[in-house]
Amino acid sequence: MGVIASINPATGETLRTFEALTDAQIDEKLARAERAYRTYRHSSFAERARWLAAAAGILESERDRLGRIMTLEMGKTIGSARAEAAKCALACRYYVEHGERLLADEVVEAGGGRSYIRYQPIGAVLAVMPWNFPFWQVFRFTAPALMAGNAGLLKHASNVPQCALAIEEIFDRAGFPPGVFQALLIGSNQVARVIDDPRVKAVSLTGSEPAGAEVASRAGRQLKKTVLELGGSDPFVVMPSADLDRAVRTAVEARTINNGQSCIAAKRFIVDARIAEEFERRFVKTMEALRVGDPMDEATQVGPLATPEILEALDQQVRRSVEMGARLLTGGKRVAPLRGNYYPPTVLTDVPKDSPAWREELFGPVAVLFRAEGIEGAIELANDTEFGLGASAWTNDEAEQHRFIDELEAGLVFINGMVASDPRLPFGGVKRSGYGRELSAWGIREFVNVKTVRVA
């Protein structure tokens, strides 16, 4: 059925290869998930909390080992990889503490007897997950899904198979019943048959817009629910009243976090014309000072992109935008002395409206600067995108803050802060950034039967 390869993006070295599951092996795993669910759905919240707490303990105590796997497979800096493992533990502990309360029977005064809402699991849920946060993306789906009593099936990105198997091992060691969580090492061409299988009840996907559309349409034909977290072209708006030092520091971090490969990374920097020149000067200087290199080196700030294909696509987007008239302020050329998929921190401005840098998501350390005439122009530029995942606005003017909160078209709006996910807050987008929510109460209730009960 094909080979799934784990390749170090810093060196191009093939670390390990795996044979993709055969149709018979897939069927065996689906049958195992179905059997496990029938029993697991009757487990108590206390039991699920105990197993999930054990998973959190493994993530915390072994974050060095797990972080190394992430860095080797997809190139994130080792410090951020360790932090990712710790954040996964945080999500597990959130649902350990709050899961039972979030799914408790909800009494409704409807007269004529007793009425309440009961939240019950639905079965095996398929998670189609991306490589950029290879642990966090999985755990922010799995922690609430398993706490709700569902079984989880993971189709991870094909370039992070060792991460997928490490996550499966964590749940096994934590004590979850066999089959409650399974990694499926399969190619994208095998996903359709898993979605079509009646033992799979729903699908959660984090990934590209085309992948989301394909999975959602396939699931829709089977009348199965989907939650989609897709791309973003997040605006980072800076107004004259902002603390410029903090705004510049955060802007650089927000653009280069995870080597620039994050759906909620700030990508379009929209600065009021009155302060644009000063912001541009500081921003470019700070981007140029970033250290690019081996992601295993603690001092590295920007590592390689995950695959050669991603590097090539980003390079083409930048070159095409420059050919169409965009002005390059720094970067824009591949890092020649380094092996691997390295691309330098890059800043573009004067970007034409029909260029890739204006219309497309740039998945790498490339920032695009815009100048806005006042808050009206800033909001218009910020919303001039098909995406609507996150948005960050920097202003100390209270009236401006209220306008940004009300008028920015995004699932997350952060004022004077960097957009980030948090287990306590719902996460998701609008427009072509997807639908549904992960995390918080909203996330744990996505894949449950919201059952109305009325006792006369």
Torsions phi, psi of 348, nearest 5? -115, 150
Look at residue 279 and give its three-state secondary structure: helix
Look at residue 299 and give its three-state secondary structure: coil
- Is residue 13 flagged as an active site residue? no
Other Cβ atoms less than 10 A from the Cβ of 220: the count is 12
449 vs 104: CA distance, rounded Å: 13
CA-based nearest residue to 25, from 205, 162, 190 = 190
Residue 290 tokens, joined: 């970033």
Asked if 270 and 237 touch (Cβ cutoff 8 Å), the reply is yes
* Interacting residues of 120 by C-beta distance below 8 A, sequence separation 6+: 41, 149, 448, 449, 451
185 vs 171: CA distance, rounded Å: 17
Among 34, 168, 229, 409, the one annotated catalytic: 229
- Please give, one letter per residue, the 3-state secondary structure of 17-44: EEECCCHHHHHHHHHHHHHHHHHHCCCC
Asked if 335 and 286 touch (Cβ cutoff 8 Å), the reply is no
- Is residue 229 flagged as an active site residue? yes
143 vs 174: CA distance, rounded Å: 13
Find the Cα–Cα–Cα–Cα dihedral 234, 139, 32, 126, rounded to 10°.
-10
Among 88, 263, 438, 446, the one annotated catalytic: 263
Other Cβ atoms less than 10 A from the Cβ of 24: the count is 7
CA-based nearest residue to 174, from 30, 46, 69, 59 = 59
344 vs 330: CA distance, rounded Å: 9
Find the Cα–Cα–Cα–Cα dihedral 97, 98, 99, 100, rounded to 10°.
90
Helix (H) or strand (E) holding 154: strand 151-155
Residue type, 58: I
Q: Which residues are part of the catalytic machinery? A: 229, 263
